[in-house]
């Protein structure tokens, strides 16, 4: 038994993936023969899920062509990081995660935590969160996008910080946070859920493969604690790349 909505949604996504082009609503209507109203519902859903984006001329395109494609070597490096993640788990004694971007979202593809951990982290494998929230993983991810790309495809007025106080950021302030010089990023006071992440980019050359993070309760800690956690993330990424 066919499901027309699903069939049309896959038809749109396959067309955008195969053509690797950018099409307005009217152009998609002509190519696919799907009504404009149905197309708009499908595209809004696909954008919300991170599979499709829209550029400044309101043309739609698949994010698979720009953000989530990994080279064969990149996929192997990501698999290597996942296979070695228990090393970081044991060294940190905290929850460890690997995230990858899709569209305007970060997706949790691996999440591990010590069995005796008294406080559990809500974000599990399969969880997603917007990149507009400029915590450590988002900053690390966005830093690997050219500023021109962000200015064209993201809403520059939608970036914000969380913590004890929610704060909407101007694009100039957001850029300062995104394009800082730190190899490993962390948020000392944590996010609105009182979770702090220490995050670094796993890269193969210039290709962003994923984000490696330690997640912990945002208790007040001495500077030496943050230095230790940053060193653990950095050292883990280096060992993964050395073993590749």
Q: How far is CA 204 from the centre of its chain?
A: 17
pTM over 0.75: yes
Judge whether residue 140 has pLDDT over 70: yes
CA distance 65 to 52: 10
pLDDT of the residue at 199: 98
pLDDT of the residue at 21: 83
Long-range contacts of 229-234 (CB under 8 A, 24+ apart): 229/92, 229/94, 229/186, 229/198, 230/184, 230/186, 230/198, 230/200, 232/88, 232/91, 232/92, 232/198, 233/88, 233/184, 233/198, 233/199, 233/200, 234/183, 234/184, 234/200
Q: What is the mean pLDDT of the chain?
A: 88
- CB of 213 within 8 A of CB of 99? yes
- CB of 39 within 8 A of CB of 2? no
| CATH value of 4-65 in 3.90.226.10, 3.10.20.30, 3.40.50.970, 1.10.10.10 | 1.10.10.10
pLDDT of the residue at 71: 76
Mean pLDDT for the stretch of residues 146-168: 86
CA distance 83 to 233: 15
CA distance 158 to 169: 7
Judge whether residue 200 has pLDDT over 90: yes
Residue appearing with tokens 């009217």 = 26
Determine the topology of domain 72-243 in CATH.
Beta-Lactamase (3.30.450)
pLDDT of the residue at 142: 94
Q: Tally Cβ neighbours within 10 Å of residue 105.
A: 21
Torsion of CA 133, 138, 139, 142, to 10 degrees: -110
Residue appearing with tokens 């809403």 = 155
pLDDT of the residue at 65: 56
The phi and psi torsions of 221 (rounded to 5 degrees) equal -135, 155
pLDDT digits (tens, 9 = 90+) for 52-110: 877 767 777 776 655 555 678 888 999 999 999 999 999 999 999 999 988 788 999 99
Where in the chain are the domains? 4-65, 72-243
pLDDT of the residue at 117: 78
């Amino acid at each position: 038994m066919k499901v027309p909505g699903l069939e049309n949604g896959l038809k749109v996504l396959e067309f955008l993936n195969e053509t690797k082009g950018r099409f307005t609503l009217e152009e998609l209507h002509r190519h696919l023969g799907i009504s404009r109203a149905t197309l708009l519902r499908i595209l809004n859903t696909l954008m919300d899920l991170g599979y499709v984006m829209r550029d400044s001329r309101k043309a739609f395109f698949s994010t698979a062509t720009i953000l989530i494609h990994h080279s064969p070597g990149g996929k192997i490096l990501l698999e290597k990081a996942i296979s070695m993640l228990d090393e970081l788990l044991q060294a940190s004694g905290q929850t460890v995660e690997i995230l990858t971007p899709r569209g305007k979202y970060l997706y949790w593809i691996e999440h591990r935590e010590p069995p005796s951990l008294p406080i559990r982290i809500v974000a599990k494998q399969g969880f997603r969160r917007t990149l507009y929230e400029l915590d450590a993983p988002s900053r690390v991810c966005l830093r690997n996008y050219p500023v021109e790309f962000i200015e064209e495809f993201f809403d520059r007025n939608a970036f914000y910080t969380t913590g004890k106080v929610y704060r909407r950021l101007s694009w100039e302030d957001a850029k300062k946070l995104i394009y800082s010089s730190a190899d490993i990023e962390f948020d000392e006071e944590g996010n609105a859920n009182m979770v702090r992440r220490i995050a670094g980019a796993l890269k193969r050359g210039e290709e962003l493969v994923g984000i490696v993070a330690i997640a912990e309760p945002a208790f007040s800690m001495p500077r030496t604690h943050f230095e230790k956690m940053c060193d653990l993330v950095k050292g883990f990424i280096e060992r993964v790349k050395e073993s590749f």
